[in-house]
Every structure is written in C-alpha cells, then in structure tokens.
Amino acid sequence: MHLLYALLASAFIGIVVTHPSNTASLAHRVKARAPAPWPLQSFKTAPFTPPVFNVSKSGASLAPGYLFLTPLALNGAVQSAAVIMTDGGDLIWSSAPGDYTNLVTQPLDSKPVLSYWTGDTIGNNGYGHVSILDETYTEMYRVCPQAVAVTANSSITFPCYADAHESFITNHGSVLISMINVTAVDLSVEGGPKDGYIFDSLFFDVDIKTNKTLFRWSALEAGIPFTDSKALFNGSFGVGSRTDPWDWFHINAVQSIGDGYIVNGRHLWTTFKLNSTGDIEWRITGDTGGDFALPGDGHFAWEHHARVEKATSTDLTLHYMNNFNAAPPFNGSNPSTGLSLHLDLTTNTASVLKNLIDPNENIYNDAQGTFDPQANSNTLLGYGQIPAMKEFGPLGNEDVRMTIWYGIHNNSGPGAQSYRIYRREWVGTPAYDPVVVVQGEMVYMSWNGATGITSWEVFAGDQEQDLKSVGKVPNAGFETMFQLSGSCANSKSVRVAAYRGAELLRYSNIVVVG
C-alpha cells in the first residue's frame, strides 16, 4: 500500500492547479491563524444561537432561495443544529440542538418537503433516522431501514441505524439511505489480520410511507477488491480490528438514475453506476479514470457529493466537491475544487465542464462538501469541514459572486463545519404560533420557520379581552422589536400578528406582562 501511495502521488504531479501564494501546507496555515471566538446570534424569543455570516458579494445576480446547512460545532464554537438562513445571514428556521446532516428541500408526491438526517455519531459514522417535514414543519414521516447494524462499540445500541451520509428522495416515493456495518473478513491480502474487520458500506432503498426495504446493496457483497482502496491501515482509516475496523470504501453519496443507482466510494476515489439488480455497469476513478479516459484537469480524489444530471442513454453530467487534499498521498497544498464532468458513454471519455476555484481565495478542505448547481446556471460550493461557501456565476472562476464564512478559517481552534450546504427556494408557514416576549416597554416577536413575513402588528391593553392595535412594524429578520410608548407603555397584555404582504397569517398567544 505504501508503494501505491508513492505511485499515486507521482501520477498527480503536473495535473494539480496550484497558486504560488497558497502553496504552504495546511498544517502551516493552521498554525499561522490565531483561534478567536466566532460571533453568534442570540434572540429574546428563541434559544437559538446560529453563527453570524461574514458575507461578501460582487453585486452580480445570485440564485434565488435560502441557504440550508447543518453547522456542527467544533470545540463548542457554534450551536449544532439544522438551519435555514438568508444569504444576508438572517435565520429563517432552526431545529432543536443536535447532530444533523443533509437538510434540504426535495420533491415528494409532487410537493416540496423538508428532509434531514439526525441521530448520534461514533467516529465518522452516524446512527439515526431520516425525518421528512411538510411546509408547516410537521413531521410527516420518520424513515428507518429495517436492519440492525453491527457497530465498532458492541455495548452501544441505537433506535435506528441510518447513516448520516445520504438521504436522497427518489421519484418513486422512496429514500436512499446509507448504512455502515462492522463485518468480519480476511484482510491478509492487504497485509492486515486474517481475522480482520471492515466497515462495510451499504445503502437501502426504503419506501417512505411503509419503511419497507425495496433494495439493498453492499460494497463487500458486490465483490469490489480491497486492493482498489486508497485507505491505509492506520489510525485515520482503521487497523482492521473489531474495535477499529478498516474503512476501506466509505460510502458518501447515493442517487437513483433511471432504474439503477449511482454510489460513491470516497476511499476508492470511485463512483459506480449500478443497474437495477446492483451489478456494476461502469466506474469512474479519480486517478486512473476507471472505465473512462480522464483529461489531465479532470482527476479527483477523496471526493464528496457525487451527483448525476442530464442523464441519457449516451451521456451524462457528473459533478463533485473534489476535496483533492487529504493525506496521504497529498500534503495539504491542493486547493479543493467544484468539478463537473461530461461523460460520453459511447466512447467512454470524460471532459471537464467546470473546475471551480476562487483564484483570490483557495480553500483546502480534506473532507465533506457540496457541488450544488442552480437553475440560473450559478453553482454553490459548500466546503464541508471548512466553514465557508461560495457561489460562482456561469463564467466560472473569474465570476465569484458570493463568499460566506460562518466560522474560524481553521478547524484546530473554535470553528464549525457543515457536511453539505444547499441553496433552495422554500415557503414555510409553521403549524405553531408566533412567539412574543415583553421586557419592560420592548416587545420582541418571531416565528421560527415562517418565510416571507413582511410586517407585524402589535396589540396591547390592560385586559386580554380589550386589546387594541398600537402599531405596525416592518419585519426585521428572525426577531423584530417594537417599543410600547405613551398610554400603552404600561399595558398588562400583549399579542402580535404576522403578515405576509396584506395577508394576516397568524396571531401569537396573549402574553400577560408582570
């Protein structure tokens, strides 16, 4: 395996685009940056503390919609939650605190729904369920594969074993869910123990309404050779023991395509196309090309968020967050890119459509990330373990239209990360009522998850049955303030009403003051 890495490193020489001012190692750059607290938002009406966005915009048109992310706290620097935010940094909706991934809107039964994974994690693996919410933020379905996984810690069990990496809703009313299972295997061919253990990567195609498994696939059972893995037996990838299994495949993306599937094995640098029975039809590999001839600027490694678009019987578009940076064999000096490939299925050749990188600010993320194409031909890149996102216009690298940081640039100090980040349009009108808090003469109001709120009306009085309108105030982000004055300054009861344009949407409960 060490010889393999020497060959891989030499194979990539000459095809990596680097910039002289950004070639210092990742470790060097981390040491050069002094950790500092990242500012957080806080509210009177809700316990949420989302990060403040540091936003830069070029002024060119951005894609419509909100930003969907799942900040995960590093060293307690932010509140771990699933959040929807504007690109100006205003909170729209926050979940309760916890571990989340894959917050996004997806179509189900021809209607947009909100979906996410939530649960517990051990190392890089998640054990939880997929929740699907309607536009009122009411949970419609909680999806859990009807299978129990073996974990590295046999003393711990979970209510559900859905992994955190994938929760893709198909057009036939199911959701594709990844799962990790500790499995005994002979690893002597890799120089490991004969009585060894791996993390086998599986995915389940689960009917959303019944939780019935429609299809199951295992990387081990598919017969993919262990020798294809780029993961060494070491502390990062596991030593092949029962308590430290070898993570040889590392499933991190699954998508339905026609009657088959696309599945990505990060530690193989390979995306597989499967037919309806799970047989491998073709593979594309980041160093050798696999079944395809790759151009010099089309190589990829340690990739995330493999997704297919515009698929026909003869060609398709395949894109990644090309992390291209984790060691081994890299030394941390390769900037990560948003890579889009055109695959010709008749000639088995690949060509580069996009290789997105900000020439003025390279970002070096070892893991996680998103390539999210927008309807207006923009592309949003989320940088995973690095708390940043960028939106590129159609012109590519010289057309960086937005950059947002939501945590410290390095993750050795206080920071944050989001497994994936999306930009989507969404209309939410919560089933629960707005919240109002009164402190002295100040009235604070919010409605977690409500979109398009334009104004609030405040009602006050000495008795609940005698409340009168005392003023209107434009909506001012997640939380809006209003000052009681004059004869209503000492009101004993207050309530508010939320408006979307001229439409009265909902009243809050009446708050008794004092």
**DSSP assignment of 326-355, as one string?**
PTTT--S-SPPEEEEEEEETTTTEEEEEEE
Average pLDDT, the chain: 91
Asked whether residue 398 carries a pLDDT value surpassing 90, the answer given is: yes
Number of domains in the chain: 1
pLDDT at 76: 63
Query: Which of 221-225, 375-379, 408-412, 460-464 has the least mean pLDDT?
Result: 408-412
Output the six-digit token pair for 373: 């194409």
Question: Is residue 120 included in any domain, yes or no?
Answer: no
Instruction: Tell whether 99 is covered by a domain.
Output: no
Note whether residue 263 is domain-resident.
no
In contact, 240 and 193? CB cutoff 8 Å: yes
Domain span at 449 = 435-512
Instruction: Please give the share of the chain, as a percent, with pLDDT higher than 90.
Output: 82
Residue 476 lies in a domain: yes
Ranking 23-27, 166-170, 245-249 by mean pLDDT, the lowest is 23-27
Alpha-carbon distance of 47 to 95, in angstroms, equals: 11
CATH number reported for the structural domain that contains residue 443 in this entry: 2.60.40.10
Would 460 be classed as within a structural domain? yes
459 close to 496: Cβ distance less than 8 angstroms: yes
With bands split at pLDDT 50, 70 and 90, how would you rate the model's confidence at 37? confident
Q: What is the mean pLDDT of residues 394-398?
A: 97
Is 334 part of a structural domain of the chain?
no
| Domain-embedded: residue 494 | yes
Residue 432 phi/psi, 5-degree rounding, is -90, 165
Higher per-residue confidence, 424 vs 487 = 424
In this structure, is residue 449 part of a structural domain? yes
pTM over 0.85: yes
